[in-house]
């Protein structure tokens, strides 16, 4: 994986579970060592959520979500759980992603499940160009491991955002890191307390340190993953403040997909910001980009948590202050689809 300046898209072999720590009980991302469719026939276009499934027979063992076909391939011998269980897991996660985005972001995706001796659970995953995902399952993986997994959702979300030059990798990784727990919480597989408790613990990794020159120019582990996640968190909150909580980051991402910007496309960050701003009727993304990517803009996390009503306890858990100024924004970010409507 390249961190330096590039003149083209970055490679998409994103070893996510080895790089960013997420929720307890799931595969762990490592701590730092220091410190929309264009047309129905467009091969790269994101299908619509309401499209009628095609009538031709799908390959055995595949999964269809709307008009998107996910083909499942197995390597390394038989998987640790029955193939029907693996298929149901992939279908569940794809449907969660499709619900948030208004449709699965690409028309087809090959998911390769690789059995790996040793530990259980989803060990790690990679994503490549909005076309392929590979996930490694330990041979002692259980149903509970799949129920609590975050890796597959993270990788699927990469298919929902265009490829960028290498110095902007934080924007891609940060988006998947930020949206993954939201997607899960909206479907009830992760509690609101777990989401905000984890963010309150980990977002500090993304703040600039001495000598930082902005997200586009400082390519540490913390700035790439958690700096990116922090950028999108602030963007989500600011979009909701600017629109009376009527629009959030999901509207911006869906705008990008509507403009054709899924994981099979290469865009500039200028185009990303412009399309996000147009989709939300604001200038939030372009302003934040100037403040946090082109300069080392910091975020007062203590003040942010207070306004959102996130109160940290001594044991690391959180409780909520529903009288806080932005408590309604906090609730809206992880609200279930039924509640959000």
280: pLDDT strictly greater than 80:
yes
Confidence of residue 340 (pLDDT cuts 50, 70, 90): low
| Least-confidence region, from 1-5, 128-132, 188-192, 206-210 | 1-5
Instruction: Note the pLDDT of residue 23.
Output: 38
Instruction: Note the pLDDT of residue 10.
Output: 39
Instruction: Note the pLDDT of residue 67.
Output: 94
Condensed to tens digits (0 to 9), the pLDDT of residues 106-158 reads 999 999 999 988 788 899 999 999 999 999 999 999 999 999 999 999 999 99
Q: How far apart are CA 272 and CA 106, in angstroms?
A: 18
The more confident residue out of 27 and 120 is: 120
**Per-residue DSSP letter, 206:** G
Find the radius of gyration of the CA atoms of the chain: 19
Containing 175, the helix (H) or strand (E) segment is helix 169-186
- Three-state SS letters, 140-174: CCCHHHHHCCCHHHHHHHHCCCCECEHHHHHHHHH
Residue with tokens 């054709």: 260
pLDDT mean over 40-52: 45
- Biggest CA pair distance of the chain: 58
Confidence of residue 179 (pLDDT cuts 50, 70, 90): very high
Residue 201, both tokens: 């613990």
Is residue 155 within 8 A of residue 30, CB to CB? The reply is no
pLDDT mean over 284-300: 97
Is residue 75 within 8 A of residue 114, CB to CB? The reply is yes
Distances 175 to 1, 61, 155, 296, 306 between C-alpha atoms, Å: 17, 30, 11, 19, 23
36: pLDDT strictly greater than 50:
no
**pLDDT-above-70 percentage for the chain:** 83
Instruction: Note the pLDDT of residue 74.
Output: 96
Condensed to tens digits (0 to 9), the pLDDT of residues 7-21 reads 344 343 333 443 333
Q: What angle do CA 62, 155, 29 make, to 5 degrees?
A: 135
Is residue 145 within 8 A of residue 36, CB to CB? The reply is no
Q: How far apart are CA 18 and CA 190, in angstroms?
A: 21
Instruction: Note the pLDDT of residue 21.
Output: 37
Is residue 136 within 8 A of residue 114, CB to CB? The reply is yes
Distances 29 to 135, 178, 230, 284 between C-alpha atoms, Å: 14, 14, 17, 30
56: pLDDT strictly greater than 90:
no
31: pLDDT strictly greater than 80:
no
Which residue, among 195, 157, 279, 178, has the nearest Cα to 232 in the 3D structure? 178
265: pLDDT strictly greater than 80:
yes
Q: How far apart are CA 98 and CA 153, in angstroms?
A: 11
Instruction: Note the pLDDT of residue 240.
Output: 98
For the chain, what is the mean pLDDT? 86
Is residue 238 within 8 A of residue 276, CB to CB? The reply is no
The model's pTM: 0.85
Confidence of residue 47 (pLDDT cuts 50, 70, 90): low
32: pLDDT strictly greater than 70:
no
């Amino acid at each position: 994986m390249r961190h330096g300046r590039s003149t083209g898209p970055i490679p998409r072999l994103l070893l996510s579970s080895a790089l960013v720590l997420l929720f307890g009980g799931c595969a762990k991302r490592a701590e730092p060592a220091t410190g929309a469719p264009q047309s129905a026939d467009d091969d790269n276009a994101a299908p619509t959520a309401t499209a009628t499934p095609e009538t031709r027979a799908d390959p055995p063992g595949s999964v269809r979500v709307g008009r998107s076909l996910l083909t499942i391939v197995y390597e390394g011998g038989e998987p640790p759980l029955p193939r029907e269980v693996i298929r149901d897991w992939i279908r569940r996660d794809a449907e969660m992603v499709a619900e948030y985005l208004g449709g699965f972001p690409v028309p087809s995706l090959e998911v390769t499940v690789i059995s790996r001796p040793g530990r259980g659970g989803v060990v790690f995953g990679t994503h490549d160009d909005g076309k392929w995902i590979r996930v490694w399952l330990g041979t002692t993986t259980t149903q509970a491991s799949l129920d609590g997994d975050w890796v597959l959702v993270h990788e699927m979300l990469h298919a929902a955002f265009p490829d960028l030059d290498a110095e902007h990798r934080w924007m891609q990784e940060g988006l998947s890191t930020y949206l993954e727990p939201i997607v899960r919480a909206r479907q009830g597989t992760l509690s609101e307390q777990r989401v905000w408790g984890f963010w309150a613990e980990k977002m500090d990794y993304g703040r600039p340190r001495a000598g930082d020159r902005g997200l586009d120019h400082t390519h540490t582990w913390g700035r790439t993953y958690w700096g990116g996640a922090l950028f999108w968190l602030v963007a989500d909150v600011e979009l909701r403040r600017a629109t009376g909580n009527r629009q959030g980051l999901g509207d911006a991402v869906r705008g990008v997909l509507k403009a054709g910007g899924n994981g099979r496309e290469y865009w500039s960050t200028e185009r990303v910001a412009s399309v996000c701003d147009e989709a939300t009727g604001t200038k939030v993304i372009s302003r934040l980009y100037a403040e946090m990517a082109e300069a080392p803009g910091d975020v007062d996390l203590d003040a942010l948590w207070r306004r959102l009503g996130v109160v940290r306890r001594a044991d690391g858990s959180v409780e909520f202050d529903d009288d806080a100024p932005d408590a309604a924004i906090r609730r809206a970010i992880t609200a279930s689809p039924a509640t959000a409507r």
